[in-house]
């Protein structure tokens, strides 16, 4: 299973953009890049995913490097509610293979008012 | 629409007992997977079910088992509980299990404390 590397923690000020990096140098051509976050006392929550192109949704943007060996989750304006542990996960895209998620330690994001 | 429902939310057991946790997936979702979360090990995959068949199993002892019913609801069972089984047990559902683009929706979890 391909692995991801994330910083243990990051800090941001409220209403400022946040860039959360993720390295995945052993990514295969069929791996999707997924981001989930876990707020205190809750289960993980889907944020965004992509394969090769940059992606935007109402929660965040995902910027994927051209060689796909790294990606960045972008929160455009951090709020206090965005304080959470953010997980970058590679998901095997070969049909018939397992759908399990392999979670690393994630990045704990602290948002200061 | 209703999310993933896990019951019970909290429970306390003693060593040697067994426990059964239940998960009701989102309507229309046929895949259910289970994860264990502890402070030391983080989130670890337990099992994955699709159409009542176990598709994959994580690296846990045989005391951990699960099943899925025809209505996609799932249960997991832990027998002969040990102190180290104290954890948050999370269930996630999705439409299928094998697409890399597939998104999981997690429940709030069942917090198990073993005394």
For residue range B19-32, list pLDDT tens digits in order.
999 999 999 999 99
**pLDDT, tens digit, 9 for 90 and up, residues B70-115:** 999 999 999 999 999 999 999 999 987 667 788 999 999 999 999 9
The residues of chain A scoring below 50 in pLDDT are: none
Distances (CA, A) of B97 to A45, A69, A112, B50, B54: 17, 25, 38, 7, 11
Cβ–Cβ gap B98/A98 under 8 Å: yes
B24 neighbourhood in chain A, CB within 8 Å: none
Q: Would you say residue B34 has pLDDT above 70?
A: yes
B101 neighbourhood in chain A, CB within 8 Å: 32, 49, 51, 91, 93
Nearest residue, CB atoms, B104 vs list A31, A97, A101: A101
Measure B23 CA to nearest chain A CA, in Å: 13
- Taking the C-alpha atoms of residue B36 and residue B91, their distance in angstroms, rounded to an integer, is 9
pLDDT at A97: 65
Residues of B with CB under 8 A from a CB of A: 4, 31, 33, 35, 42-45, 48, 55-56, 58, 90, 92, 94, 96-109
pLDDT at B1: 63
Give the pLDDT mean for B38-45. Answer: 91
pLDDT at A99: 66
The dihedrals phi and psi of A93, each to the nearest 5 degrees, come to: -100, 5
- Taking the C-alpha atoms of residue B7 and residue B109, their distance in angstroms, rounded to an integer, is 8
pLDDT at B17: 98
B105 neighbourhood in chain A, CB within 8 Å: 46
Q: Would you say residue B5 has pLDDT above 90?
A: yes
Q: How many CB atoms lie within 10 A of CB B102?
A: 17
- Taking the C-alpha atoms of residue B4 and residue A96, their distance in angstroms, rounded to an integer, is 24
pLDDT at A1: 58
Cβ–Cβ gap A100/B90 under 8 Å: no
pLDDT at A30: 86
Measure A15 CA to nearest chain B CA, in Å: 27
Q: How many CB atoms lie within 10 A of CB A46?
A: 17
pLDDT at A86: 98
Nearest residue, CB atoms, B103 vs list A31, A43, A46: A46
pLDDT at B98: 67
Q: What is the DSSP letter of B41?
A: T
Q: What is the DSSP string of chain A?
A: ----B--SEEEEETTS-EEEEEE-TT--TTEEEEEEEE-TTS--EEEEEESSS-EE-SS-EEEE-TTSSEEEEEESS--GGG-EEEEEEEEE-STTS---------EEEEEE-
Distances (CA, A) of B12 to A64, B3, B35, B60, B107: 44, 25, 19, 21, 19
Q: Taking Cα atoms as reference points, which of A38, A37, A5 lies closest to residue A23?
A: A5
């Amino acid at each position: 299973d391909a692995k991801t590397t994330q910083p243990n923690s990051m800090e941001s000020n409220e209403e400022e953009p946040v860039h959360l990096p993720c390295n995945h140098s052993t990514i295969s051509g069929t791996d999707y890049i997924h981001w989930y976050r876990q707020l205190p006392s809750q289960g993980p929550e889907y944020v965004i995913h992509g394969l090769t192109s940059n992606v935007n949704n109402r929660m965040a943007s995902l910027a994927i490097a051209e060689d796909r060996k790294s990606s960045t989750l972008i929160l455009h304006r951090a709020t206090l509610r965005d304080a959470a542990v953010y997980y970058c996960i590679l998901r095997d895209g070969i049909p018939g293979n397992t759908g399990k998620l392999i979670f690393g330690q994630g990045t704990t994001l602290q948002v200061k008012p | 629409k209703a999310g993933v429902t896990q019951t019970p939310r909290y429970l306390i057991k003693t060593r040697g007992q067994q426990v059964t946790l239940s998960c009701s997936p989102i309507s229309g979702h046929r895949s259910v997977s289970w994860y264990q979360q502890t402070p030391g090990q983080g989130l670890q995959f337990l099992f994955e079910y699709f159409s009542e068949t176990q598709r994959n199993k994580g690296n846990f002892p045989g005391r951990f088992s699960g099943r899925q019913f025809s209505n996609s609801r799932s249960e997991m069972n832990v027998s002969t509980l040990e102190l180290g089984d104290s954890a948050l047990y999370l269930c996630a559902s999705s439409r299928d299990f094998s697409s890399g683009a597939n998104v999981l929706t997690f429940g709030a979890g069942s917090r198990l404390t073993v005394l």
